[in-house]
Structure 1
């Protein structure tokens, strides 16, 4: 259980922050960049939810919770030491990614195949979901970069990869099943 009685602690005033295992690192460290971008993504999902309803809103709420799980996973380095921990660290698992794949397949069922790239836009919800997609891609790039030098749960990277696909398909659904997709016209303004 998390208890936040005091919001400011002054412990970060010198430009450092604590990771999930208590280690202190610079606020610009690669790990902090990765989970900080996941936090930013969660905020963009919150914006998308302002325009969502019913099943889409429920799915976005689940994703927001998953993103907190992902942040908890990324802020805790040294997976090899998980067994030594006082409590089991929260790690992303395959079923979270599997759920996204099932939802993508269901959403994609009634969409017509694409014959062009899509410009971000259309309905307000679709535009917000495209923003979520691009922030998810950035979080994925940062997490993959982190994994080249530090220990990262492979399920975290897979989840981010699949999540950006989910946002793309969800944006098409939000654009009246793809009918209001804004298509790229190569060289249209030459």
Structure 2
């Protein structure tokens, strides 16, 4: 039983994993990505719908790359990818798979997309790759998606990947000291979209 529990925990340290799709490469953030992450996170929509600091400074991008992502992979608690367009190498977004302490076999997903690359299906393509990795490679039993109520873009991505809407959690999600109502959806291996 202990062995099964260990297999279903996202918090297992591993070397960063590279995921590829038809149009994208997802890899752990590197020092050379700091400028691109800094530029992307200046976008008011990313700041509006995520927990990135606002205003977003260079030291925030450095923390994201050097500490949050690096330590997350080292501990297995936060697996974070920068998402790049295969043809150009341009940063198109970020994806995360974060363990849910106290809930074995569950992890939360999250993403943001750069302003210039929204509306091309890249975020859903990347999110599907992360979902498959979590549910098949890591053997997780459940992925969870949360978004502040009104974030229709993120909800559309979740639905396209196959997440099933489970409700609204009132005064649930904290962002810079303020609580927001949040949508929640779940994804099991049997829900993965084709």
What TM-score does the superposition give when structure 2 sets the normalisation length? Answer: 0.29
Larger radius of gyration: 1
What TM-score does the superposition give when structure 1 sets the normalisation length? Answer: 0.30
Structure whose residues are more often helix by fraction: 1
More relative contact order, 1 or 2 (CA 8 Å, 6+ apart): 1
